[in-house]
Amino acid sequence: MSEIRTNEIIPHFDYQKIDTEYDIFCLETSRKYISTGAGIIDAPLMNKNVRAVLFETGRRFYVLLNHSEDNFGNMKKILSDAEYGSSMSIMQKKSSELEKYQLLQLLINGLTAKKHPLLRFNNLTGHLYVFRPEWTYKSKENVIWSIPTIEVKVMEDCLIKLNVRTFTSTRLRSKITFTKRKFEEYPKYVLSTDNSMSRKTADDDAKTPDFILRQIDGRKSGVKFLNISSETDFEATKIGVLNEVAENFNERYSGMAAIEFKTIAEYTTIDTTATAKENVKAVRAYLADKKIILIDCVRNEQSGMFCENIVSLINEKYNCNAKTGSRLSKNALNIRLIHNRDYYENGLNDPHQDDMSGFTVQHITFEDFFHNSKHAVSTVVNELIIKDDIRRGMFSLFDWGCMGFEKDITFGLSTGGDSPKYFFMTVRPDGSFFFSEQQMNLLEVNEYSACVQIFGDKRRAEGMIKYSDDDILAICGTDIFTLPEYMGLSVELKSGNTALRNKESRDEYLTSVTEIRSFRRDGCDFYFIGVCGSGIQSALRNAALIRCVEQYGTGSGDFRRMLPLMNVAFVRNGRLTVVPFPFKYLREYIFMILFLLPLDKCV
């Protein structure tokens, strides 16, 4: 059985060799803090002997230099001409005096990718940003508007994170809202002809395009987590960047430092072979005595043809009674074709806000579904069935009885925010269910009090499951995610082998990103939801996050009994759901309560 690899780094240091090769200085200000992006942080990089700078937050930052007797004097000279200079003190540090994650980050910040023709490593304001020119967004005139990058960041517990950070052209400043910091307070960076980035200085031409570390309002850059279509596609992903960082690090610091990633050898797997496809038979059985009405609220020639096509697709796939209509029916499942929200921004009546009380309704938007109607049909129909289930208080697409629960099971969610609300869904052994709401009240003790308190104690609690008063589980998010066998994938792709989705290759290289897998560590259950192995695509947009399940009370609830509740296709249209599917019902109910319907219309 292949091991599961995670983003938890196990660092190895030979401190004596590091101190022989490098000097480390800590620069600390007597002020309350160093402003994020202050010029003093990038100033040391002007010295050719400086290998890297590390700044987190607070009053100090670290500088890594090639060993030299002149380094202390060089640091003093840098401070004499820089902002904060008069308030800074300099202390030389042994590598062992830094926290492991700090030393690791400092060494990572000192990496370059000179051997790679496209990848660029940029140590800016004490952080490491990696990018490829092909990720940039350009205008029709070939002007670079934004530069998405991967920030390679080591957390205090030696977890490595690969978040997308975007540098945007200052020419687009009008499209960015500045609140906490003014535009003038942001450091400006320039892109060189060799595709490396550096801080803009007085020596740079004032007309040279510059960038700030901000994203345009309403836009979010993305870089795929993994792509095994080809060597080039693999290198242009987060895992491709990680592979370059790890390989570069172990080569560059050979004999003095190395990194490896923690693995999990023992785990439980839920087979998802039967989940990759929709259970059309179950949907047909449910729709056998149901009517589906599609209402055209766009009303143009194209929308009319689109509606007829959707009706035809539904009837063909599910052999049911679907037709177009002009008004909602309380005795039918209703689909309304409308425009997306952007269309209604100029004061037009927004159908999203219409009162849907007493009706089972699913909206589809003309702009988003027109070119994807065949694949969207399953999603729309499943959403309708879930909404109808909520009104009836009974599951239709899952046989709850097969779970063997002899008592009620309660699922709970918090809306979060400054004034959170707490909602619960209790499922009876026969698959019927009901909803309830509970306020935070320290003076009142009832069956939900302990559940509410969990959300108050655990900021990262994504949901709770209650078997009994003394047996409560909290599902908590973590910063841990799984890694495929990136080194093996890189070797295979470089050799020209792109046939890596068969079972043999999945078992060897992709165990950490496929199926539903759980394991125990430190007395807690952990699990992650990958993709269905039998239906895996060449590209994965997101990593598989590992979640921790913490036990509350004196019970011994086995979370493994919940794993089949994520092995369903009707929540995310063929993709596995990352928490037990009743949470989908609960979220839908909460949305109805808070945004759409009166309470008595939803039960």
pLDDT per residue as tens digits for the range 254-275: 999 999 999 999 999 998 887 7
- Among 455-469, 510-524, 554-568, the range with the most confident prediction by mean pLDDT is 510-524
Strands (E) across 390-432 are located at 409-414, 422-427
By three-state DSSP, how is residue 36 classified?
coil
The answer to whether the CB of 569 falls within 8 A of the CB of 277 is yes
Q: What is the mean pLDDT of residues 363-378?
A: 78
Mean predicted confidence (pLDDT) in 66-87: 84
Q: What is the mean pLDDT of residues 160-184?
A: 95
Q: What is the band of 394 on the pLDDT scale with cuts at 50, 70, 90?
A: very high
Q: In the predicted model, what is the mean pLDDT of residues 241-258?
A: 96
Between 371 and 350, the more confident residue is: 350
CB-based contact 20:56 (threshold 8 Å): no
Rg (CA), the chain: 28
Please, are residues 250 and 244 in contact by the beta-carbon 8 Å criterion? no
- Tell me the C-alpha distance between 149 and 146, whole Å: 10
- What pLDDT does 444 receive? 57
Higher pLDDT, 354 or 99: 99
pLDDT digits (tens, 9 = 90+) for 215-225: 999 889 999 99
Q: What is the pLDDT of residue 599?
A: 35
For the residues 546-573, what does the mean pLDDT come to?
86
What does the pLDDT look like over 303-341, one tens digit per residue? Answer: 898 899 999 999 999 999 899 998 999 999 999 999 887
Across residues 450-472, what is the average pLDDT? 81
pLDDT at residue 279 is higher than 90: no
Confidence of residue 446 (pLDDT cuts 50, 70, 90): low
Give the pLDDT confidence score for residue 458 in this predicted structure.
61
- Check residue 352 and give its pLDDT: 75
The confidence band for 188, taking pLDDT boundaries of 50, 70 and 90, is very high
Residues 102, 109 contacting (CB under 8 angstroms): no
Confidence of residue 95 (pLDDT cuts 50, 70, 90): very high
Position 239 pLDDT exceeds 50: yes
Return the pLDDT at 87. Answer: 84
Q: Is the pLDDT of residue 554 over 80?
A: no
Q: With cut-offs at 50, 70 and 90, classify the pLDDT of residue 113.
A: low
Note the pLDDT of residue 203: 79
Q: What is the DSSP code (8-state) at residue 595?
A: I
Alpha carbon distance 71, 66 (integer Å): 8
> Tokens 């345009």 label which residue?
216
**Whole-number percent of the chain with pLDDT over 90:** 64
Q: Which residues 6+ apart lie within 8 Å of 474 measured at CB? A: 454, 458, 461, 463, 464, 549, 550, 552
What whole-number distance in Å separates Cα of residue 40 and Cα of residue 59?
12
Neighbour-count burial of 223, counting CB atoms closer than 10 A to its CB (0-12 exposed, 13-18 middle, 19+ buried)? buried
Residues β-bridged to residue 425: 411, 435
pLDDT for res 603: 30
DSSP code at position 2: P
Q: What is the mean pLDDT of residues 557-582?
A: 88
How many Å apart are CA 516 and CA 270, to the nearest integer?
5
Neighbours of 227 (CB within 10 A): 21
Query: What is the per-residue pLDDT for 519?
Result: 95
Instruction: Kindly tell me if the per-residue pLDDT of 149 is higher than 90.
Output: yes
pLDDT the model gives residue 452: 79
Greater confidence (558 vs 280) lies with 280
